[in-house]
Amino acid sequence: MGSLADTILIIVVLLNLALLGTGRLRPSIRLVAAQGMILGLLPLLVSEHGAGLRLALLAVATVALKGVAFPKLLYRSLRSSNAKHEIDPVVGVTASVPLGLLLLAGSFWMASRFQLPAGVEVASNLVLPVALATILCGLFLIITRLQALNQVLGYLVLENGIFVFGVALAHEEPFLVETGVLLDVFVGVFVMGIAIFHISRTFDHIDVKQLSRLKD
């Protein structure tokens, strides 16, 4: 079962790299959706004593949100904006991939410095590095990609990374909080979607580089 978790995590990493490699928005959304879907399975695998009802519900909710709802929202705002692909990212798409690998290496180092406290068992020892890598990858997207939509995607990837960590390590997260978290993320993305809609309507572009009137 650990092996299965491993494969999922590796897929997640690959998806990160793929995401870094694409400049066009539509495929990027698709990739993030895929990542969400995959992660939906994770809860079912983590706990040794079978998937309880709580985890099952969590899995369903995750898939529903990360895999279906978010992409829908993002497609909507993509249609509303006339942006098709990243104009000129701070770091070019091709250059992003090797940097992504560097981030991966870095996160492996970090993970190596953490040793899990006694009494904490984890589905796979890939969990921590992958989680960190995904988080960094998300931040990297937000920082380098200048299309507002891409930044939302970056935010989602970041969220996914945290999700990986949370599901795999923090068993004591009560259901109430889980749902609260998901709800918040959902509303967050929803509001961002609206914001993007407004941006594209008022500025007829969603290039955040040009959103820099407010400065000192």
Partner 1 sequence: MTIAALILIPAASGLLSFWLPSQLGRRALLVAAAVMHLGLTLSLWSARPEPTPGSWLAVDTPGLLFLTIASTLFMASAIYCTGYLSHEDVATHIDREERFLFSNEPESVFIGCLLLFLASMTLVTLSQHFGLLWVGVEATTLASAPLIYFHRNHRSLEATWKYLLICSVGIALALMGNFVLAVSASAAQAHDVNLHVTNLLANASKLDGVWLKAAFLFFLVGYGTKMGLAPMHTWLPDAHSEAPSPVSALLSGALLNCAFLGIFRVHQLCTAAGEGEFSRSLLVVFGLMSMSVAAVFILRARDFKRMLAYSSVEHMGILAIGVGLGGAGVLGAIFHAFNHSFTKAALFLAAGNILLVYDTKSINDVRGVQRRLPITGALWLAGFLAITGTPPFGTFLSEFTVLRAALDADRAVVATLYLVLLAIIFIGMANVMLKMSQGTAPESTPNSSKDKLVSVGPSLVLASLVFMFGFYIPKPLRNAFDEVTLSVREKKDSLEESATIVPLRVENETLTAISTEVQSALHEHGTEPKTDAEEIRE
Partner 2 sequence: MDLLLDGLIVLVGGGVVALLLSRTPLANLVGAISAAIGSAIVLVPAVHVVLQGVTPAEFSAAWNVPYGSFTLLLDPLSAWFVIPIAGLSSIAAVYGFSYMAHFAGHKSLGTPWFFYNLLVASMVVVVTARNGVLFLVAWECMALTSYFLVVFEDEKDSVREAGRVYLIASHLGTAFLLVFFVLLGREAGSLEFSRIADWLDSSDGFSPGMSSLLFLLALIGFGTKAGFMPLHVWLPEAHPAAPSHVSAVMSGVMIKTGIYGIVRTLTVLGTSQEWWGWLLIGVGVTSGIGGIVFSLAQHDLKRLLAYCSVENVGIIALGLGVGVLGIHGDAPAAAMLGFSGALLHVLNHAVFKGLLFLGAGAVIHETGTGTLDAQGGLLKRMPWTGATFLVGAVAISGLPPLNGFISEFLMYLGAFEEDSLLTTSGAVTALAAIGSLALIGGLAAACFTKAFGIVFLGEPRTDASRDAHAPGWGMRIPMVLLAGCCFGIALQARPIAQRLTPIISAFLPEATLKEPKVLDAAFVSLHSISVACVMVIVLGIALAVARKALLHRREIGSSTTWGCGYAAPTARMQYTSSSFAQPVTQFFAPVLRTIRRFSPPQGPFPKSANLHSETPDISMKFLFRPMYRLVDRLLSMLGWIQHGQVHLYVLYLAATMVVLLVWYLGVAV
**Interface residue list for partner 1 (CB under 8 A):** 114-120, 135, 139, 142, 148, 151, 155, 158-159, 162, 165-166, 169-174, 176-177, 180-181, 183-184, 187-188, 191-192, 195, 198-199, 202-203, 208, 211-214, 216
- Residue 2 or 92 having the CB closest to partner 2: 92
- Residue 45 or 146 having the CB closest to partner 2: 146
Cα separation, 23 vs 15, whole angstroms: 14
Long-range CB pairs of 112-117 (<8 Å, 24+ gap) are: 116/169
Cα separation, 47 vs 29, whole angstroms: 30
216 touches partner 2 (CB under 8 A) = yes
Restricting to residues 192-211, name those near partner 2 by CB under 8 A: 208-209, 211
Restricting to residues 103-122, name those near partner 2 by CB under 8 A: 109-110, 113-114
- Residue 124 or 150 having the CB closest to partner 2: 150
CB of 210 to partner 1, least distance (A): 9
CB of 149 to partner 1, least distance (A): 12
Q: What tokens were used for 68? A: 């279906």
CB of 116 to partner 1, least distance (A): 7
Restricting to residues 142-171, name those near partner 2 by CB under 8 A: 142-146, 151
SS3 assignment for the chain = CHHHHHHHHHHHHHHHHHHHHCCEHHHHHHHHHHHHHHHHHHHHHHCCCCCCHHHHHHHHHHHHHHHHHHHHHHHHHHHHCCCCECCCCCCCHHHHHHHHHHHHHHHHHHHHHCCCCCCCCCCCCCHHHHHHHHHHHHHHHHHHCCEHHHHHHHHHHHHHHHHHHHHHHCCCCCHHHHHHHHHHHHHHHHHHHHHHHHHHHHHCCCEHHHCCCCCC
Which of partner 1, partner 2, none binds 37 (CB below 5-8 Å, type-dependent)?
none
- Residue 10 or 91 having the CB closest to partner 2: 91
Given 3, 49, 119, 215, the residue binding partner 2 (CB under 8 A): 215
- Residue 43 or 138 having the CB closest to partner 2: 138
CB of 182 to partner 1, least distance (A): 10
